[in-house]
Amino acid sequence: MTKHVKGAEALPLNQIIAGDCIDVMNSLPAASVDLIFADPPYNLQLKGDLHRPDNSRVDAVDDHWDQFSSFRAYDEFTAAWLKAARRLLKPNGAIWVIGSYHNIFRVGAALQNEGFWILNDVVWRKSNPMPNFRGKRLTNAHETMIWAGKSEDSKYTFNYEALKALNEGIQMRSDWVLPICNGHERLKDSKGDKAHPTQKPESLLHRVLVGSTNPGDVVLDPFFGTGTTGAVAKMLGREFIGIEREESYRTVAAARIAKVRKFDREALSVSVSKRSEPRVPFGQLVERGMLRPGEELFSMNQRHKAKVRADGTLIGDDVKGSIHQVGAALEGAPSCNGWTYWCFKRDGKTVPIDVLRQQIRAEMREQ
Amino acid sequence: MTKHVKGAEALPLNQIIAGDCIDVMNSLPAASVDLIFADPPYNLQLKGDLHRPDNSRVDAVDDHWDQFSSFRAYDEFTAAWLKAARRLLKPNGAIWVIGSYHNIFRVGAALQNEGFWILNDVVWRKSNPMPNFRGKRLTNAHETMIWAGKSEDSKYTFNYEALKALNEGIQMRSDWVLPICNGHERLKDSKGDKAHPTQKPESLLHRVLVGSTNPGDVVLDPFFGTGTTGAVAKMLGREFIGIEREESYRTVAAARIAKVRKFDREALSVSVSKRSEPRVPFGQLVERGMLRPGEELFSMNQRHKAKVRADGTLIGDDVKGSIHQVGAALEGAPSCNGWTYWCFKRDGKTVPIDVLRQQIRAEMREQ
DNA sequence: CGTAGAACTGAATCCAGGG
DNA sequence: ACCCTGGATTCAGTTCTAC
């Protein structure tokens, strides 16, 4: 299918175009696209191998397309594809770009330099990220998306009520908790290996497209990969244009999209987290000043006491550890629920620490 | 209090220094600070706040002022204070910078350009953000912090076990859910208005300082504001240096910090990693007769065995070497922790050799 | 057939210290 | 500076295998 726009050039809709995205974008008619979703190379700069504690090797992103000789080279690449992308956007068009700390700051600055107007940065909080195996940094548990209008005065599309509905009637926030793409959704090649190292979950694109496009809008993805953007666009009744350099990815994407039915909501069902109470680490009571480091806690039976430390552990006579561990040790029990075991004193009264946890949970429910 | 460092220049500790942060930082001795926490301004309307690297002021009524020159001026300001900050850091020092989508991408790119090495970007997920009243965008529910080492090979401080303890035994992630600063913690001026527009919560600084400094470390905050960094540093037994241009903020901060009490020493101790335990050569177990030369060791999975030699090496089928080397070779693994891999037999029971190491370490602690 | 437990996996800038 | 070696280090899943 092609679509004719003012200027008589044809727009190749619902196709995957082979080639370098900058060249291809430059060959398409200007001001013809409503939304761009881009998942560019992150320039991860990985060095050696990484092993899990069980000695298995992590299958890293070592593909040639992620290699850049320097930040400067990456910046030039970024400016070039953003320029081409901006030309394609209608005046009221918008763009989403996803990245990690390796590249997102350079991408964000480049967006601003090119005249895009940032509307929000959105954090994808992964419910099941890969841990930091060596314990040398924080678990890298999120990626960042930037949502920007073509210019400061673009009348961008924002379906406020639709997103609010997706969020159980509460205004959608800038942090989205979604699982990574695995299980059956993760596309495999003929050998059973993952077809693409960085396939994005459809739930993420669902939220992006519901929130910032209308049915019939044209969505372009210059780094199409295995076509998550195209698959979700088709389900949601949006038109897509994919650009992808690697033949193997194009093949997988084409087969995938062919199987998609419009309004195929089944594929989007995000595993709903159990409706259980949120976990509140004891350390949070300390960080938030509800209990002071050095303060004494007393056991329910008044037989034992222990001091709170700055890291949210307790120290008693010859025992250190979590509220549960210290409670268990002092009672000589195999286990102990520290939340119901320990109390603190306020104004002469003895108060169970669980009261403070309830307080935090109540706050969390409010918004 | 001042502290004298190599080079005979005095470091003004636990003081709030009046002045422009770039000038003040340039007047302090190089390589003298362990950590910098910075919450730089990012209101682009306050053009008078911006300084070029040559210290000339950006003219707010400049006719040529547009979006582009505004970004350029902000970039120059950012590069200038980051350069000054980097000079102050010890080789193994690190920096935290907090910002929002208005400025954080420019700050992140500048950090990388100046040679800092990003360790994590951390999302502060606000549990009670201000809603988006007009319903034109997503609720801006987070801010971004960047944690970076002075250089790629900095041996930065990371108290992994302490943060894990704060999170009740689960590795700390890059997204931190903490409430915004309000209630009693929020400082008010004499008229009852908030004393500072963007006062950060102490819980945020608690986590930053527990995780990336040790007691006694010097923490500098070039945009001190009402002194959250100083207040938490004092509580946690860290030394602080604050720089603030506005007298009203300095006054509020000084009064605030004077009221803070340091936690006692025991409360400041945190959970430590096994890595900090003294090293015990396996040969010592043999020398001390805890294991006899010729004795057989068995792998944890019971699949392999090897004999102890008099020099503290093992000999198995076709392999000789350290407990680690033989374990790795037998398992075909890239590496192996021999201490947890090998067991010996005593009175019919299988005992991990690590028990003997712990015995030696306990003896070492006694004296 | 169902269930329990083992195996596997994910955009990762993932070691420190002695010779 | 490099080279070598000891030895510390994981969370939330999904899929596979054994019984």
pLDDT at A53 over 70: yes
Q: Do A105 and B146 touch (CB under 8 A)?
A: yes
The beta-carbon neighbor of A137 closest among B120, B132, B202 is B120
Residues A258, A217 share a domain: yes
Residues B243, B115 share a domain: yes
pLDDT in tens, B185-240: 999 998 999 999 999 999 999 999 999 999 999 999 999 999 999 999 999 999 99
pLDDT at A314 over 80: yes
Domain boundary among B268, B297, B317: B268
Q: With respect to residue A277, please indicate whether it lies within any of the assigned structural domains.
A: no
A317-320 long-range contacts, Cβ below 8 Å, gap at least 24?
Answer: A320/B271
Residues A144, A117 share a domain: yes
Q: From the CA of B8, how many Å to the nearest CA of chain A?
A: 34
Cα–Cα distance measured from residue B253 to residue B251, given in angstroms and rounded to the nearest whole number: 5
Residues A328, A191 share a domain: no
- pLDDT value for A267: 64
pLDDT in tens, A99-120: 999 999 999 999 999 999 999 9
Asked whether residue A59's C-beta has any atom of DNA/RNA strand C within 7 A, the reply is yes
Q: From the CA of A185, how many Å to the nearest CA of chain B?
A: 25
Q: Are A208 and A96 in contact (CB under 8 A)?
A: yes
Residue of B nearest to A292 (CA): B263
Residues B170, B86 share a domain: yes
Domain boundary among B268, B301, B332: B268
Q: With respect to residue B8, please indicate whether it lies within any of the assigned structural domains.
A: no
- pLDDT value for B11: 95
Q: With respect to residue B178, please indicate whether it lies within any of the assigned structural domains.
A: yes
- Nucleotide closest in space to A101 (CA vs C1'): C13
- pLDDT value for B8: 43
Q: From the CA of B310, how many Å to the nearest CA of chain A?
A: 29
Asked whether residue A141's C-beta has any atom of DNA/RNA strand C within 7 A, the reply is no
Type of residue at A167: N
Domain boundary among B234, B268, B302: B268
- pLDDT value for A240: 98
Q: For chain A, how many structural domains are there in total?
A: 2
Q: Do A138 and B120 touch (CB under 8 A)?
A: yes
Q: Do A105 and B101 touch (CB under 8 A)?
A: no
Token output for A366? 């409010």
Asked whether residue A140's C-beta has any atom of DNA/RNA strand C within 7 A, the reply is yes
Residues A349, A208 share a domain: no
**How much is the average pLDDT of A23-38?**
98
pTM of the model: 0.95
Q: With respect to residue A7, please indicate whether it lies within any of the assigned structural domains.
A: no
Residues A263, A195 share a domain: yes
Residues A212, A71 share a domain: yes
Residues B308, B245 share a domain: no
Give the CATH number of the domain where residue B202 resides: 3.40.50.150
Chain A CB contacts of B112 below 8 Å: 71, 105-106
Q: With respect to residue A300, please indicate whether it lies within any of the assigned structural domains.
A: yes
Q: How far is the CA of B296 from the C1' of C3 (A)?
A: 39
Domain that includes residue B346, residue range:
282-366
Q: Do B173 and A287 touch (CB under 8 A)?
A: no
Residues A185, A135 share a domain: yes
Q: How far is the CA of A294 from the C1' of D11 (A)?
A: 31
Kindly provide the residue ranges of all beta strands, DSSP E only, lying in chain A, ordered along the sequence.
2-4, 10-12, 15-18, 33-38, 89-99, 117-126, 142-149, 175-178, 218-221, 239-244, 296-299, 305-308, 314-315, 320-321, 342-346, 349-352
Asked whether residue A271's C-beta has any atom of DNA/RNA strand D within 7 A, the reply is yes
- pLDDT value for A367: 57
pLDDT at A341 over 60: yes
Chain A CB contacts of B236 below 8 Å: 310
- pLDDT value for A10: 82
Chain A CB contacts of B268 below 8 Å: 293, 309-310
Residues of chain B with pLDDT under 50: 5-8, 46-47, 60-63
pLDDT in tens, A206-223: 999 999 999 999 999 999
Q: With respect to residue A154, please indicate whether it lies within any of the assigned structural domains.
A: yes
Q: How far is the CA of A159 from the C1' of C12 (A)?
A: 35
Q: With respect to residue A323, please indicate whether it lies within any of the assigned structural domains.
A: yes
Residues B162, B80 share a domain: yes
Burial A234-268 (b: 16+ CB within 10 A, else e): bbbebbbbbbbbbeebbebbbebbeebeeeeeebb
pLDDT in tens, A126-164: 999 999 999 999 999 999 999 999 999 999 999 999 999
Q: Which residues contact A281 (CB under 8 A, 6 or more apart)?
A: A312, B166, B167, B168, B170
Chain B CB contacts of A120 below 8 Å: 101, 137-138, 140
Number of other CB atoms surrounding residue B134 within 10 Å: 7
Q: How far is the CA of A269 from the C1' of D19 (A)?
A: 33
Task: State CA A17 to chain mean position distance.
Answer: 27
Residues A237, A308 share a domain: no
Lowest pLDDT segment from A64-78, A220-234, A270-284, A321-335: A270-284
Q: With respect to residue A3, please indicate whether it lies within any of the assigned structural domains.
A: no
Residue in B72, B92, B142 to test binding to A, most A beta-carbons within 10 Å: B142
- pLDDT value for B63: 45
Instruction: Dihedral sign for Cα A170, A175, A177, A180, please.
Output: positive
Chain B CB contacts of A159 below 8 Å: none
Task: Give the 3-state secondary structure of residue B112.
Answer: helix
- List bases in chain D with any atom under 7 Å of a protein Cβ: 5-15
Token output for B361? 């370490």
Which residues in 142-181 of chain A line strand C, with CB less than 7 A from it? 143, 180-181
* Lookup result for tokens 């008693």: A316
